[in-house]
Structure 1
Amino acid sequence: MSTISIAAPAVRTVRPSTRLRLTVRGRRVLLGLAALPLAAGIAFAALGGGAAVASGESVPTASFETVTVMPGDTLWSIAESVAPNADPRSVIHQIESLNALGASSLQVGQELAIPAEYVD
């Protein structure tokens, strides 16, 4: 009689995947690829920065005179005294803008810049 033997199929063990090893050349290539966005940004800044160069055109300067605030003075009274023929509201607005006044509170002895167009 013949015998039949049943054996379990042979199981092959799968070796873990090979670990990636970089050569010196591979490291240089990887470093170059990583540095590429930085190099592009520096090149863009260097080439595009020329637009910020001064154009050489003259810039109008603000000319003004100063007035010292006396006791009892208000912006309205100062505006009426320096520009009697102009609308005091527009003169006050220009004085506030020129002196960076926020709350329109004046101090005695304070120096206020008055636009030169209103000074004699």
Structure 2
Amino acid sequence: MSTIAFGHSRHLSPRTTDRPVRHLRAVPAPRPTPQVRLTQRGKAVVLGATVVAVALLAVMFGSSSVAGDAIGSAPDTTAVQVLPGHTLWEIASEANPNGDIRQTVDEIVRLNSLPNASALQMGSEIAVPVYQ
């Protein structure tokens, strides 16, 4: 008969391997990104900035128009640059030397949407009616 030997062989034992032992460790979960939250004051600031931006764009890209006496036609005008020392009275008297200067000043103020006759800015260009 044959004999079978049961013994602990070095290559069969899992405890005696030369491989390094690997331990499992927990990996932290990624942190959620914080969301931006606006306070009431922050919402008011964002709303105010939006309103100002829209108003500024409306003024910049809005249409320009001139109010005239005749329906559907704009009055004939010429552009005059305001020089240092110029007054609206002088500009009106040069534009309409034989007419009523007060009425000409009023027309220039209305054409250029000036708040009053002394609101001229040096270097600005204004529209002046052309008289025959």
Q: In which range does the TM-score fall when normalised by the shorter chain?
A: 0.3 to 0.5
TM-score (norm 1): 0.46
Higher relative contact order (CA 8 A, sep 6+): 1
Larger Rg: 2
Larger helix percent: 1
TM-score (norm 2): 0.42
